Copies of this chain bind each other. A is one copy, B any other.
């Protein structure tokens, strides 16, 4: 493999000059620059990112910690994070925490020793203070943290408002909300508050039921949903806090002899591919995951380059009408 020295010899300049060209530092005449580039090309010279990282004490790598890669929401998020990072010549080092404290701490140390340029935290068991003390920019994603560089979230409250309003407009009189995970405070809890706000304002009967964390990791809420639907036969409108939950509401409703949308209208949250793959398809609250990912990566890179960035960015949601609330 060709080295800096080979390039220098071939182009007839010093190693220092080649290094300056590579790092775009100091004055270099156009002529010299061209000579060096020509030699690099002819020798098929590949700059060593590791050596460059060492001299900068920073790499072109962004560390990303998510709780559950396979979950359709995180799969979609990672898709766009990678696209956004790649456009700016950064790479994603992907870590799955399964919300385990121990793993998050391990990743933290690993990010530090790999000199990542920034960390994107979509999981939050570790005290965020541990991340801050690293002196590496940290963007938190849909997590309640009051320190860190930037926190990104969608307008969860507005999502709850849109869902409840739509169900009421569809004629529902007895609303039910399957909300986020018990015992974990998250921005997503605001979905429930938005839902309650509208129900109270409109004087519509409503109940909120929290899902269990264990069910979240198994992506299996069926037994739980069946128990609830059997206990509450009066329910005619459901707002599920994810499309994965909503898909299982469809399955269980069928099992207990109820039809969606005829007997029960259903609204999900997220707008992941699952919402379009079920029968009926799921009316849902669209999270602008693409835009959220681009904002997150943008903030992280700007911050790594020492620019001042927003401490909080909230993006709007929207209602996507599909068959699960169709009136036909």
Given known A-B contacts A50-B114, A114-B50, A278-B278, A93 and B219 have beta carbons under 8 A apart:
no
12 A-B pairs (CB sep. < 8 Å): A48-B54, A48-B113, A49-B114, A50-B54, A50-B114, A70-B72, A70-B76, A74-B75, A86-B96, A91-B94, A251-B279, A254-B279
Cα A49 to Cα B93 with chains together (Å): 14
A26 to chain B, nearest CB (A): 22
- Contact partners of A247 in chain B: CB under 8 A: 277-278
- Contact partners of A69 in chain B: CB under 8 A: 75, 78-79, 82
Given known A-B contacts A69-B75, A72-B72, A79-B70, A113 and B278 have beta carbons under 8 A apart:
no
Interface size on A, residues (CB 8 A): 51
Cross-interface CB contact of A273 among B94, B219, B254, cutoff 8 Å: B219
Cα A277 to Cα B280 with chains together (Å): 12
- Contact partners of A68 in chain B: CB under 8 A: 79
Cross-interface CB contact of A46 among B54, B61, B113, cutoff 8 Å: B113
Is A191 interfacial (CB-CB < 8 Å)?
Answer: no
Is A244 interfacial (CB-CB < 8 Å)?
Answer: yes
Is A166 interfacial (CB-CB < 8 Å)?
Answer: no
Number of copies: 2
- Contact partners of A86 in chain B: CB under 8 A: 95-96, 103
Closest 6 CB pairs of A and B: A75-B75, A70-B79, A247-B277, A69-B79, A49-B113, A49-B114
- Contact partners of A121 in chain B: CB under 8 A: none
Q: Which of A100-144 contact B (CB under 8 A)?
A: 103, 109-110, 112-115
Cross-interface CB contact of A50 among B53, B83, B96, B220, cutoff 8 Å: B53
Is A248 interfacial (CB-CB < 8 Å)?
Answer: yes
A44 to chain B, nearest CB (A): 10
- Contact partners of A273 in chain B: CB under 8 A: 70, 72, 219, 244, 274
